Amino acid sequence: MTSETAPFLEGRGPYWPDACATSGRSCPPPYTGLDRVHMQRRWADTPVVCRCHPHPARVGAALCDPQTHLATERDKRLADELARIAPRSRHALVDSDTFTTRVIHGALSDGVTQFLDLGSGHIATSAAHAAVAGHPTATIVHVDHDLHVDSHNLCELTEDPILMTRPRTLVHANAFAIGPMLTSLHRSGALDRSRRLCVLLVDLLYYLDPANDARSVIRRLVKHLPSGSWVAVNHLTNQAPSTLDSPGARAAFRRDTDRWCRAMTRCVPPHPQASSRTEFGRRIADLDLHPPGITSTGSWPDPDTTRLPQAPYTLAAVGRVPDLSEREPRVTTGDRS
């Protein structure tokens, strides 16, 4: 067994930013955390990262299909490690796909035909791409900052003559730069901001650098989108739901989630950050949530009744952009005491 195919051992390298396999001969130097914070705020300033470390999108592809051509050996080794730490890792991706498909069907039933898939990953394995492709009047724009993902997606797109006749659907840019992104997509004709759309923030928000306020992402969507637009979001959590009442089981759930996040730091950044249910609620507070409010990715649109949750576990919610003109203005007295 070669070093390239040997399983990763938990707690032992390589973790980011360890030296890459080529010792820097063909890979750029690691960018700093401050660089990443600034990049996530800018639309077209995407990172050029090491090709030797695993990439989250490729690891996800390997979790779905261990034989996939989209992943390198290191991606597959990390997928195996994640599955050892959290055997539910593969099923969590199925839950995300199910959530995405249900949201798209719900939005289509509500008359929404424009979709924006942020942090899309590979469209070859995209539930959003598959769900929209069957509706001739619907369009979808996929945004991802990973150059590897972009190159594979371009190949997929050119092989689909139907999609080639639609507005530009693949964008290589930062999905968190909401204002510039929506302006750019509107000007290019990819989106019509005068009509409602559905924004998919699935398996993305927990990759936002902690130095950037996650609530501001939703707030900017609310500011720039027509009222009645849909926003679907989920978030990794290390806080077990209230249905798990055993202190030992709750501690084990948090420990496994933290181990899973630690393993993901073998990848190029950004790295996933888990949150509590309260913090997730704060981040989506600017939306008018559809029933049942906050639930889990695998349960929506029903309440979460999971009794034995396992990591990685994601909270989920779907809401509408409110009509701000109908809201009562906040009264301030000027008293700051």
- Provide the pLDDT for residue 336: 36
The label of the residue with tokens 């509408």 reads 320
- Provide the pLDDT for residue 165: 61
- Provide the pLDDT for residue 326: 61
CB 273 within 8 A of CB 206: yes
- Provide the pLDDT for residue 200: 98
Residues 262, 266, 270, 272: what is their CA dihedral angle, to the nearest 10 degrees? -30
Mark the ranges of the chain whose per-residue pLDDT is less than 50.
Answer: 43, 328-337
- Report how far residue 120's alpha carbon sits from residue 71's, in angstroms, rounded to the nearest whole number: 16
User: 77: which residues sit within 8 A by CB, 6+ positions away?
Assistant: 5, 6, 7, 8, 54
Other beta carbons less than 10 A from residue 307's beta carbon: 8
The CATH code of the domain at 89-322 is 3.40.50.150
- Report how far residue 202's alpha carbon sits from residue 96's, in angstroms, rounded to the nearest whole number: 7
The distance in angstroms from the start CA to the end CA of the chain is: 68
Tokens of 152: 């594979």
Identify the DSSP state of 171. Answer: E
- Provide the pLDDT for residue 128: 94
Of 130, 84, 136, give the one whose Cα is nearest residue 104: 130
pLDDT digits (tens, 9 = 90+) for 13-52: 888 877 676 555 556 655 555 556 556 555 455 666 677 8
Tokens of 259: 């181990």
- Provide the pLDDT for residue 329: 46
